[in-house]
Structure 1
Amino acid sequence: MKPTLEQNKLIYIQIAETIESDILKDILLEEEQVPSTNQFAKMLQINPATAAKGVNVLVDEGILYKKRGIGMFVAKGAKEVVLKKRQNTFMTEYLPKVWEEAKVLEISKDELMDMIQKITKEGKE
């Protein structure tokens, strides 16, 4: 779990998204300890407070929880929470942009659906 930091996105958001992705990919499992804020800070060469902010976002969302004196852990049901959150983001942020670009390019809904069918078939081969 060593994220590559993007310049145009807040670091603490990238930390939270990295943890979420690792939960979705089953790299981090329920009840498993996540790296400490100090480990994140050392790994990414950032301020520990920034790392803590990223982790605390997930605590506030119920994705992680703290065991006093031990560290942060993945909460039960975290994968489902992250999955629903990401699906909602996909629907509200990504798909509207795709549809707007399709309209600019004069791609009909049917043509767009055909394109999606094509890329999903190619991905299975």
Structure 2
Amino acid sequence: MFDDHSPIYRQIAERIKADILSGALAEDSQVMSTNQYAAAYRINPATAAKGLRQLLDEEILYKRRGIGMFVSPDAREKLRQEHRERFFVEILQPLIDEAKTIGISLDDVITYINDHKDR
């Protein structure tokens, strides 16, 4: 599950976010505890806690005292909105810039997309 490219706690947080976006973790569903993550992935509980704490800080998860952590009711939509914004900034704008650099008009890009959208 883990790679060497980013800290493990971030990878835990990103995995949970991906599960929320895909629907594998529904809103108001309980997530594994810090100790369950630590045992399942053989990592330090403090590392797992840091990943979960990040999601609490981002309000992707919420805590029920004495019960555990759960997916926030608006988490999926919040994550989708963040991904949409990132898509335009990190993917679409560089594509538009590259197209302009090599002489492809935006109309040609749109035509290409429309011609290939059903693939």
**Aligned residue among 81, 91, 94 for 1:97:** 94
Does residue 50 in structure 1 map to residue 47 in structure 2? Answer: yes
Q: For 1:8 and 1:103, how far apart are their aligned partners in 2? A: 32
Identity %: 45
- The 1:119–1:49 alpha-carbon spacing in structure 2 relative to 1, beyond 3 Å, is farther
2:7 corresponds in structure 1 to 10
**Aligned residue among 31, 34, 43 for 1:34:** 31
Q: For 1:98 and 1:10, how far apart are their aligned partners in 2? A: 29
- Deviation of the 1:34 alpha carbon: 0.6
Q: For 1:78 and 1:58, how far apart are their aligned partners in 2? A: 10
Name stretches of at least 5 consecutive residues in structure 2 with no aligned partner. Answer: none
2:64 corresponds in structure 1 to 67
Q: For 1:69 and 1:108, how far apart are their aligned partners in 2? A: 58
- The 1:107–1:6 alpha-carbon spacing in structure 2 relative to 1, beyond 3 Å, is farther
- Deviation of the 1:83 alpha carbon: 1.2
Alignment RMSD (CA, Å)? 2.1
Task: State the Cα deviation string for residues 65-96 of structure 1 (Å, max 9, x = none).
Answer: 11122211011111111111121122222323
TM-score normalised to structure 1 length: 0.77
Give the aligned residue type for 2:82: K
User: Which structure is larger by alpha-carbon Rg, 1 or 2?
Assistant: 2
Aligned length: 119
TM-score normalised to structure 2 length: 0.80
- The 1:115–1:10 alpha-carbon spacing in structure 2 relative to 1, beyond 3 Å, is farther
Q: For 1:77 and 1:38, how far apart are their aligned partners in 2? A: 26
